[in-house]
Amino acid sequence: MVAYFQLQPAEAELQELAEQYWEKAGEKEQRLEKAAFEAGESIRNGDLTLANLEAIVRWKSERAVQYLIGNSNEKIRRVLGVAANPEASTETAMKALLELNGVDLPVASAILAAIYPERYTVLDFRALEALGHARHDVRFYEEYLAFCKRLAESNIVKPQSDLPAPTPLRTLDRALWEWTRSHTG
């Protein structure tokens, strides 16, 4: 399946929208973005450190920063070395970054965009919305919930009575979450 994108704003509006973005960004957001791209340049120049990685991740997702400490300095150096290699394909660079704790697809895209802003852009739900991919709405959640309830009610999982919220639905949620974690690392 090939994704379909349709630009929602008028092409003539894009430059002005970009200017408005920066004008409306607060001082903190501007500082974080500047620091992220400085860190990306440092990584591109061979400074493959947690401090540089953290500056970029903080810009994209402050709450993801806490998970970075779960990565060894050696792993960070190795992964950033792959991502910063100008010969690396997008797939190779992304897969390497996704090995890090605290890095999901949007964060990995932000890291690549900070390292090579001429080659990569950030995958973000707001940008996707502007390309015709609406955020998941209440209706989507209702369909998702109904599907999960059908699964949970089919007795394929049992309540985990010794854990918080001992329901089949919560057990299913844990199982789905764990499957994703175990299949993306």
pLDDT score for 63: 92
List all residues 6 or more positions away from 104 whose beta carbon is below 8 Å from its beta carbon: 64, 98
Residue 64 pLDDT:
93
Q: What is the mean pLDDT of residues 16-39?
A: 91
Grade residue 114 by pLDDT with cuts at 50, 70 and 90: very high
Residue-level pLDDT at 16? 77
Residue among 21, 22, 19, 55 nearest 36 (CA): 55
On the question of pLDDT at 185 being above 70, the answer is no
Instruction: Provide the phi-psi class of 132: left if phi over 0, else alpha when psi is between -120 and 50, else beta.
Output: left
pLDDT of amino acid 43: 98
Q: Looking at the predicted structure, is the pLDDT value of residue 14 above 90?
A: no
Tokens at 74, concatenated = 């050696």
Q: Which secondary-structure segment (H or E) carries 139?
A: helix 138-153
Q: Are 53 and 111 in contact (CB under 8 A)?
A: yes
Query: 30-37: long-range contacts at Cβ-Cβ below 8 A with a sequence spacing of 24 or more?
Result: 32/58, 32/59, 33/59, 35/59, 36/60, 36/110, 36/114, 37/114, 37/117
Record the tokens describing residue 96, joined without a space: 């390497």
Please report which confidence band the pLDDT of residue 138 belongs to, taking 50, 70 and 90 as the band edges.
Answer: low
pLDDT score at 141: 66
How large a percentage of the chain has pLDDT more than 90? Answer: 48
SS3 of residue 96 by DSSP: helix
What's the pLDDT score for residue 9? 85
**Site of tokens 């090939």:** 2
